[in-house]
Chain A
Amino acid sequence: MIYAALLTLFSHWRRHPGQLTMLVLGLALATALWSGVQAINTQARTAYAEAAATLGQDRLDRLVRADGHPVPLADYIALRRAGYLVSPVISGELRSGDARLRLLGIDPLTAPPEANTPTQQGTNLDLGAFFMAPGLLLMTAETAAAALPPDLPPIRIATGIPPRAALTDIGTAARLLGQSDPSYLLVWREQPAHLPPLVTATTLQPVAPEQRADPAQLTESFHLNLTAFGLLAFAVGLFIVHAAIGLAFEQRRATMRSLRALGLPLRSLLMAFTLELAVLSLFAGLIGLILGYSIAAALMPGVAGSLRGLYGADLPGTLSFDPLWALAALAMTLAGAGLAGAQAMRRTARLPILAPALPQAWQQAATHHMRRQAYIALALLGLSGMLVLWGDNLFLGFVAVACLFLGAALLLPITLAQLLGLIQSRTRSALGEWLFADTRQQLPGLSLALMALLLALAANIGVSTMVGSFRTTFVGWLDQRLVAELYVTAPNEAEAARLVAYLNPRTEAILPVVWADTTLAGRPGAVYGQADHPTFRDHWPLIAALPDAWDRLALGEGVLINEQLARFARLAPGDSLTISQDTTLPILGVYSDYGNPEAQAIVTLDRFIAAFPTITPTRFALRVAPAQTAALASALRDEFGLPADAVINQTQIKRFSLEIFEQTFLITGALNLLTLGVAGFALLTGLLTLADMRLPQLAPVWALGITRARLARFELIRSVVLAALTFFLAVPVGLALAWLLLAVINVQAFGWRLPMQIFPNDGLRLLALSLIAATMAAALPALRLARISPGRLLKVFAHES
């Protein structure tokens, strides 16, 4: 019985292949964008977990120098001789052009068991080759296939090594990186019982795994952003599916009534309906998975670049297939289709057997729901406002965005109806009046597609305003912060002293860049020592400050902190901050510090040296006459044998920073465009589904003397008018989103707030794009109408076969 019902239901799709294509494409697109984003997230999280677990770093303490410099070999030897179980690691990056490779040099003989080094894994590794020159580099096949710096030792393929990284013997790493001292020491979990605690035996700082920057935590907001975009795209896709299922239900209302009248129980009808939806969902879901995987694979290099630029987190540039991901995506597709089909199911369940078939009832009923929908929308917008006022975490920030979006979408139909009514009342021509009245009547049928368009446009406006504001602020901030013409890094303290002596007669000022990694207000951060110089006084804007902040800083009377620290620790000028064990200073001001995820504080050089006496500056910002910059850079490289990246000019840093910035928002831009594409498709499907249903409304107008070509033009105008109105309504929603992103989400995620700026040109471009999309979406139905045979229109009036 169910089989027969199922065959009857499927016969509808045979007769309406366009509608079937729409349903499948809608579901496939929704699945594609959602599963694509999830594939990227899954891959990233796996990579973070693998990276964190390398050498047991997720479980082992480290010993480091407070200033981030390598640990002197003598310190390591002293600890080993005293009987402490520590193991040296040299970590650094090899670069050559675009090729780069992170080296992790280990000493397998002293490594803790948790490090699980290849030598401890019982693999058939040639230990002789590993230890002896030229050594061996262990890396994944993907890393080995990527562009690598030249002159590397032989490579062996291994698993469990982070992307773009190689594991090697410490001697090999020392030789390749030109660094003899360990970057840090891994500490065994069990130390000899008779020895005093390790911290009392060394000046090195112990760092527990949880104190270290965890890429998974750092990138959480980035992945949350991706997930939000994925969900938005999924929701937009579901609008298409809902429209297609709703239309199919309406068109099959008579069939279903007949099936019931012929004795099919309601339960069997619902079962057949569910099975039909499940079969279609699985089919569409599989197409969506293939599309999603392709999208993710295409976006993966960009995402990897973004995460590297933003957080220094390394991801593989290619995607691996995870069956769990595929199953989860299919489950999401089924759930989404179920959600989209729920209303049709409910109507089927309530369908009276003897009720007359009213194809228009769906639209008319929707009109009655507009008012109730508007009340819900206003409640959601109010909730969004309350969350902004009283919410205090990232999740609530995203909930506020979701409420704003949902509220705005629900408010759209009634707002459009009011606007169209207003335009209609001002229109003088009969056709104009009909056009707007008719458009108003089509709203319930088109509202889902228009809501999808509104969401996509608002997301586009919001995100582009946020990115534009960020870019403008960032560029201005870089100009202010990177005032020094040249930045030079000495390989060690002795060379630094020689460098300063060389530079003294050749520069206008030598400004040491010296810092100590420490804990500030309970979170990882850095204290910087800064010379009192107009370079800083004149160019560093302070967001908040006490009077004479710079003068008092120069006198060593206080500290400046970055915005992140001020926000996270709720600190303000006038409060106090402990920068080292015995130094607590009043906060004099707060400065912007975009792009830095960590807390930061600035004191005078004298204060810095007093607080961190073991740290000597090896990096310097140089003020030189611009005309002499290139010559001095060249001379420094020749005189001190400095590598290219040890002498960098201002322009290079700015270019590099902007490249990172652009890379960061590459994925956002791509998702933005894809979501807009899906919304355009939603509009097309909405118009196509309505096209057939609209013939009874268009035929009488045609029969009153309006040509088909003219009616087709009106269809185009209608679509463009609706898109334009939707765009103008999307503008305030988009700007509200931008404000939420800049003033709420960014602050919660990164700790900095950006001034919002408006970019009218971007808005005009988007308006043009949406009008083009609307015209394109309406073109096919309009063309079909222009070419429709009079016979088909006459069928509307036919009352005999």
Chain B
Amino acid sequence: MNMLLQIDGLTKAYDTVAVLKGVSLSLDHGQSLALTGESGSGKSTLLHLIGALDTPDSGTILLDGVEITGLNDTARAAVLRDRIGLVFQQFNLIPSLNVAQNIAFQARLARCHDPARDALLAQRLGLSDLLSRYPEALSGGQQQRVAIARALAHAPKLILADEPTGNLDEATGDLVLDLLLELVAETGAALMMVTHSTRLAARLDRRLHLSRGELTQTGSV
């Protein structure tokens, strides 16, 4: 058994609107999964619940052997810090820290900072010359590459990427995704990516489609 993530019967409602209606899925170590769906289908909500950023109304999420839905705030933060890497559409870098500090930040929080790994990631992502710059001085593509480096710097088990190319033009988006997939494969982490694009989704191992809070399997490699 090589399972990293096991989700069962996950439900979540905002006010009276049910966003997720009993979602179940699993993901193996090193596997990549694309989550597609129309706007408002609950893709981001599912990603946030898996990332321990929010709590479900019911259901279970077993991540790397830890049932995270019942954890308190501090324990969930620890899971997030140590085992998960997040990549957002809006990059969400820390504006007060420069590129080098942004890359190292989560690894330092998780107490597993390896400057050599940072340097390697920076080099692979073409950021070596930008290390002392601040996010505001970077292009969108550069910012997303910093976000990817940050998400990988602490060697997480799972990378959660929410429309990582949504704010980039097609060419830059392809480049960024290439790098992300390459590095994820090298590190052995699993990847779960939310995207609107079936073209991008087709590049991942598995594809799931979320519609009105329910999952349908659309294909796998």
Contact = CB atoms under 8 A, between A and B. Distances in A.
B106 interface: yes
- Interface secondary structure of A, over-half rule: helix
B16 interface: no
A181 interface: no
A441 interface: yes
A705 B77 contact: yes
Interface string B79-111: 111100010111011111100010011101110
Contacts of A708: 73
Contact of A705 (B78, B88, B113): B78
A430 B54 contact: no
Interface string B19-55: 0000000000000000000011000100010010111
A431 B94 contact: no
Contacts of B104: 430
Contacts of A790: 48, 53-55
Given A433-B97, A794-B53, A704 B106 contact: yes
A159 interface: no
B109 A441 contact: no
B163 interface: yes
A700 interface: yes
Interface string A416-446: 0000000000000111011001101100000
Interface in A263-316: none
Contact of A794 (B48, B89, B96): B48
B77 A707 contact: yes
B101 A437 contact: yes
A705 B80 contact: yes
Contacts of A705: 77-82, 106, 109-110
Nearest to A424: B96
Nearest to A796: B92
B51 A703 contact: yes
Which of B40, B55, B78, B108 is the most central at the interface, judged by chain A CB atoms within 10 Å of its CB?
A: B108
A430 B104 CA distance: 8
Nearest to A700: B92
B109 A801 contact: no
B139 interface: no
B90 A797 contact: yes
Given A705-B110, A797-B88, A697 B95 contact: yes
A709 B77 CA distance: 11
Interface string B120-156: 0000000000000000100000000000001000000
A326 B48 CA distance: 57
A120 to B, nearest CB: 78
Chain A contact-residue range equals 35 or more
Contact of B89 (A431, A700, A709, A797): A797
Nearest to A790: B54
Contact of A707 (B74, B86, B163): B74
B87 to A, nearest CB: 10
B73 A800 contact: no
Given A437-B101, A703-B80, A797 B92 contact: yes
Contact of A697 (B81, B89, B96): B96
Interface string A341-379: 000000000000000000010001000000000000000
A571 to B, nearest CB: 62
A430 B106 CA distance: 8
Contacts of B163: 799
B162 interface: yes
A703 B166 CA distance: 19
A82 interface: no
Interface in B61-84: 73-74, 77-82
A494 interface: no
Nearest to A696: B92
B74 to A, nearest CB: 6
Nearest to B43: A800
Interface in B160-203: 162-163, 166-167
A360 B95 CA distance: 11
A704 B95 contact: no
Instruction: Name which of A434, A702, A801 has the most chain B CB atoms within 10 A of its CB.
Output: A434
A208 interface: no
A701 B96 CA distance: 11
Contact of A801 (B39, B79, B88, B150): B39
Contacts of A702: 53
B133 to A, nearest CB: 14
B156 to A, nearest CB: 10
A799 B77 contact: no
Contacts of A706: 77, 81, 109
Residue from B44, B81, B94, B108 having most chain A Cβ neighbours under 10 A: B94
A358 to B, nearest CB: 10
Nearest to A793: B53
Interface string A757-801: 000000000000000000000000000000000110110111111
B136 to A, nearest CB: 7
A37 interface: no
B102 to A, nearest CB: 9
Nearest to A428: B108
A790 to B, nearest CB: 5
Nearest to A799: B89
Contacts of B89: 797, 799
Contact of B44 (A429, A434, A440, A800): A800
B79 to A, nearest CB: 8
Given A438-B96, A801-B39, A433 B101 contact: yes
Given A790-B54, A799-B166, 12 more contacts: A431-B109, A434-B96, A437-B97, A701-B94, A703-B53, A706-B109, A707-B74, A707-B77, A708-B73, A790-B48, A796-B90, A800-B40
13 contacts: A364-B136, A430-B104, A431-B109, A434-B96, A434-B97, A437-B96, A437-B101, A704-B150, A705-B79, A705-B80, A705-B82, A799-B89, A800-B40
Interface of A: 360, 364, 429-431, 433-434, 437-438, 440-441, 696-697, 699-710, 790-791, 793-794, 796-801
- Nearest first, the 10 closest Cβ-Cβ pairs linking A and B are A705-B81, A430-B108, A437-B96, A700-B92, A441-B96, A705-B80, A438-B96, A800-B39, A707-B77, A790-B54
